[in-house]
C-alpha cells in the first residue's frame, strides 16, 4: 500500500493495531458493515480499517466514498477488508487495502463492472482501465494517476508530511 | 444461472485471470465452469475467492446447490468462518431441503458455526426449526446462545407463537432526544422505481415474510438512506387489531448501499401484545439480534399511535419516531435524530505485541 501511494507522493502515517471482541469475523452484508463501523472506533485522527476474516458476497472490501473524518458524526467512518479470501492471493491484500482506503479518500471506481457488461466495453479499453488501482476488481495494475493523487490529497484526513 | 456463468466465462482479461478457463471449458463451458465453481466452494480449487464462489453459486440456478453448501458446513476440518458462510448461504437457498440440512447441523459444537446455523434458521425456520433451536440453546455457548435466543424470537414472532421470553426495555434504557440537539430526518413514500429496485435487492435475503410493494417508505439521514418495508400480511384494514392480538413481524428496514445502490436488511421490526389489550410493544433489532430501538403503540380502534426511541448502546444516536399506523399506512409525525453519537463508540483494545 505504501508503494502504491508513494507513486502519487502520498505517505502513510503511523499504523496502530487494535483488537475487537469476537463476533465480527464474518461480515454478512452492507448492513453488518455499517453496524460494525458504527459500534467501534479508535478516537484519533487515523482512518479506522477493520480487518475481518471473510466478507460474504463478491466484495473483498467495503468503504464509503469520501469517508467522514468525524467519527462521531452520522456519515460512515471506517472501511473493512476481508483477509482470509485475499490471503490466497497473497501480495494482493495490500492492493485491496490501498483500493478501499482510496475510496475512503474520495476515489471512485474508474468504471463499474455493470457498465462493462452493459456497454460491451472492448477488451482493449478494459486492458487500459484495469491497470488502475480503482478498477473494481483485484488484482489489477495497482496504478494511480496524478489526478487521483490530487483528489486524495484534498481529503480531510490528509496531514502535511514530516519536515526533514 | 446465466448471471453466475457469464461472470465465470467472461472474456474480460480480469475474470480469466481469476478463473483461468481450461481448454476443457471450451468443450462444455456450462458444465465445467460449474465443476470449477463447485471445486472452489468445497475448497479443492484455491485459485478463486471461496466466498465469492459461494455467492456466484447462490445467485445461479444450478441444481442441488444446497449440497455444495452442506459439504462445507459438515466438514469439521474447515475453518469455522467458512462453515458459518455456508450456513448463511443455506438460509438464503431457502428450500425445505436447505432447512433440513440446517436443522441437522443445529447440534454442531463449534460456537461460530452454530451462530451461523441459528442465524439462518431464525430467518427461514418453521415450528420444527424452532424446536431444534430450543434444543440447541440448552448446550450452546457464548455468542451462539444469544443467536439461538434471537432466532427463536424471530420465528415466534413470524409465526405468532407465544413461546419464549421477550426483553422489556426500561424507560431508563432509552436515549431521550433533546430538541436542541436533534434534527428532523425525512421519511417519505418511496417511488415505484425505488420500491421495485429495493424488492429486487432483497430477493436473495429471505426473512420468511413477503414484503408489500405498496406502500414503502424511504428515510434519509446524512448520507444514508433506508427503506421501510411492511409485511404483506400486515397492510390490510385489520392490521392494528392483529398486532394487538398476537406476536408479529410486521416489517423490516433496509439500508441502501452508497456504493452499489443495493439494499440489505438492517433492522427487523417485531411487535407483541401486552397485558393491556390496547398497548403493543415494539422492538427493533439489528439482524444479528441486538435490540436497538423500542417503543409502544397505543391502539385506538383501527389506528395505532406509536412512539419509538433508541436504546442506550455504544455508538447510539438519540432517535425519536412518532406516528400512526392505520390500515397498513404509516403517517410519521415526528422523526428526530441527533447529529452526533450520544453514547461513545466502543474503543477496541490495543493489540499486544
Q: B210 pLDDT exceeds 90?
A: yes
CA nearest B70: which of B47, B49, B93, B50?
B93
Gap between the Cα atoms of B156 and B141, Å rounded: 22
List beta partners, residue B225: B220
**How far A133 CA sits from the closest chain B CA (Å)?**
13
Q: What is the pLDDT of residues A58-104, one digit of tens each?
A: 888 999 999 999 999 888 899 999 988 765 555 678 899 999 999 99
- Report DSSP letters for B298-315, one per residue: EEETTEEEEEEEEBP-TT
Residues 215-234 of B with CB under 8 A from A: 221-224
Q: For B281-290, what is each residue's pLDDT tens digit?
A: 999 999 999 9
Nearest alpha-carbon partner for A148 in A100, A94, A110? A110
- The Cβ of residue B159 has, within 10 Å, a number of other Cβ atoms equal to 17
Chain B from 112 to 131: CB within 8 A of any A CB: 112, 115-116
Summarize pLDDT for A99-149 with one digit per residue, the tens.
999 999 999 999 887 777 777 778 888 888 889 999 988 888 999 999 999
Q: Stretch B317-323: mean pLDDT, rounded?
A: 95
Cβ within 8 Å, pair A31-B264: yes
Contacts of B353 (CB under 8 A, 6+ apart): none
Q: First-to-last CA distance in chain B? A: 48
Å between B58 CA and nearest CA of chain A = 10
* Closest C-alpha to B92, from B228, B203, B223, B252: B203
Best interface-test mutation with A: which of B39, B49, B311 has the largest number of A CBs within 10 A?
A: B49
| CA gap B253, B265 in Å, rounded | 6
Kindly state the average pLDDT of the residues B57-72. 92
Question: Which residue of A lies nearest to B111 if distances are taken between CA atoms?
Answer: A23
The whole-number pLDDT of residue B3 equals 28
Q: Which chain B positions have a beta carbon within 8 Å of A18's beta carbon? A: 347-351
Alpha-carbon torsion (A38, A42, A47, A52), positive or negative: negative
Average pLDDT, chain B: 87
pTM of the predicted model as reported, rounded to 2 decimal places: 0.89
In this predicted structure, what is the pLDDT of residue B353? 60
How many A-B residue pairs are in contact by the CB < 8 A criterion?
155
Contacts of A60 in chain B (CB under 8 A): 49
Q: Is the pLDDT of residue A29 over 80?
A: yes
Kindly state the DSSP code that residue B142 receives in the 8-state scheme.
T
Helix (H, G, I), strand (E, B) or coil at A147: helix
| Residue among B169, B178, B168, B171 nearest B320 (CA) | B178
Q: Do A62 and B56 touch (CB under 8 A)?
A: no
8 Å CB contact of B259 and A64: yes
Residue A164: pLDDT band (50, 70, 90) is: low
Amino acid at each position: 500500500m505504501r508503494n502504491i501511494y508513494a507513486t502519487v507522493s502520498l505517505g502513510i502515517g503511523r499504523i496502530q493495531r487494535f483488537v475487537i471482541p469476537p463476533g465480527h469475523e464474518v461480515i454478512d452484508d452492507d448492513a453488518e458493515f455499517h453496524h460494525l463501523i458504527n459500534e467501534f472506533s479508535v478516537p484519533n485522527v487515523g482512518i479506522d480499517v477493520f480487518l475481518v476474516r471473510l466478507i460474504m458476497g463478491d466484495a473483498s472490501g467495503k468503504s464509503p466514498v469520501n469517508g467522514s473524518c468525524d467519527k462521531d458524526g452520522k456519515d460512515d467512518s471506517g472501511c473493512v477488508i476481508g483477509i482470509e479470501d485475499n490471503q490466497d492471493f497473497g501480495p494482493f491484500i495490500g492492493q485491496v487495502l490501498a483500493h478501499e482506503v482510496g475510496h475512503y479518500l474520495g476515489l471512485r471506481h474508474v468504471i463499474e463492472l455493470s457498465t462493462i457488461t452493459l456497454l460491451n466495453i472492448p477488451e482493449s479499453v478494459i486492458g487500459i482501465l484495469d491497470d488502475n488501482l480503482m478498477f473494481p476488481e483485484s488484482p489489477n495494475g495497482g496504478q494511480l494517476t496524478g489526478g487521483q493523487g490530487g483528489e486524495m490529497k484534498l481529503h480531510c484526513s490528509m496531514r502535511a508530511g514530516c519536515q526533514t | 444461472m446465466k448471471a453466475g456463468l457469464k461472470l465465470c466465462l467472461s472474456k474480460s482479461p480480469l475474470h480469466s485471470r481469476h478463473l483461468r478457463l481450461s481448454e476443457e471449458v471450451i468443450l462444455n463451458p456450462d458444465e465445467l465452469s460449474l465443476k470449477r465453481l463447485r471445486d472452489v466452494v468445497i475448497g479443492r480449487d484455491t485459485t478463486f475467492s471461496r466466498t465469492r464462489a459461494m455467492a456466484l453459486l447462490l445467485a445461479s440456478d444450478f441444481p442441488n446447490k444446497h449440497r455444495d453448501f452442506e459439504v462445507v458446513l459438515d466438514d469439521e476440518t474447515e475453518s469455522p468462518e467458512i462453515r458459518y458462510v455456508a450456513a448463511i448461504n443455506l438460509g438464503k437457498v431457502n428450500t425445505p431441503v436447505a432447512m433440513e440440512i440446517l436443522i441437522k447441523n443445529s447440534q454442531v459444537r463449534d460456537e461460530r458455526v452454530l451462530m451461523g446455523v441459528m442465524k439462518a434458521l431464525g430467518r427461514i425456520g418453521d415450528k420444527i426449526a424452532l424446536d431444534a433451536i430450543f434444543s440447541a440453546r440448552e448446550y450452546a455457548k457464548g455468542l451462539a446462545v444469544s443467536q439461538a435466543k434471537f432466532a427463536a424470537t424471530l420465528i415466534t414472532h413470524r409465526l405468532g407463537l407465544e413461546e419464549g421470553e421477550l426483553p422489556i426495555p426500561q424507560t431508563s434504557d432509552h436515549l431521550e432526544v433533546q430538541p436542541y440537539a436533534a434534527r428532523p430526518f425525512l421519511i417519505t413514500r418511496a417511488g415505484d422505481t425505488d420500491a421495485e429496485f429495493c424488492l429486487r435487492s432483497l430477493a436473495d435475503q429471505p426473512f420468511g415474510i413477503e414484503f408489500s410493494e405498496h406502500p414503502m417508505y424511504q428515510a434519509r439521514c446524512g448520507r444514508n438512506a433506508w427503506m421501510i418495508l411492511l409485511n404483506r400480511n400486515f397492510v390490510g384494514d385489520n392490521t392494528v387489531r392483529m398486532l394487538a392480538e398476537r406476536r408479529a413481524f410486521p416489517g423490516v428496514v433496509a439500508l441502501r448501499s452508497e456504493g452499489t445502490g443495493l439494499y440489505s436488511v438492517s433492522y427487523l421490526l417485531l411487535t407483541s401484545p401486552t397485558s393491556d389489550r390496547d398497548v403493543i410493544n415494539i422492538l427493533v433489532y439489528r439482524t444479528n439480534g441486538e435490540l436497538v430501538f423500542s417503543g409502544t403503540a397505543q391502539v385506538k380502534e383501527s389506528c395505532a399511535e406509536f412512539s419509538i426511541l433508541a436504546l442506550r448502546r455504544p455508538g447510539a444516536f438519540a432517535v425519536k419516531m412518532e406516528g400512526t399506523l392505520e390500515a397498513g399506512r404509516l403517517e410519521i409525525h415526528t422523526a428526530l435524530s441527533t447529529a452526533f453519537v450520544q453514547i461513545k463508540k466502543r474503543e477496541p483494545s490495543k493489540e499486544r505485541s
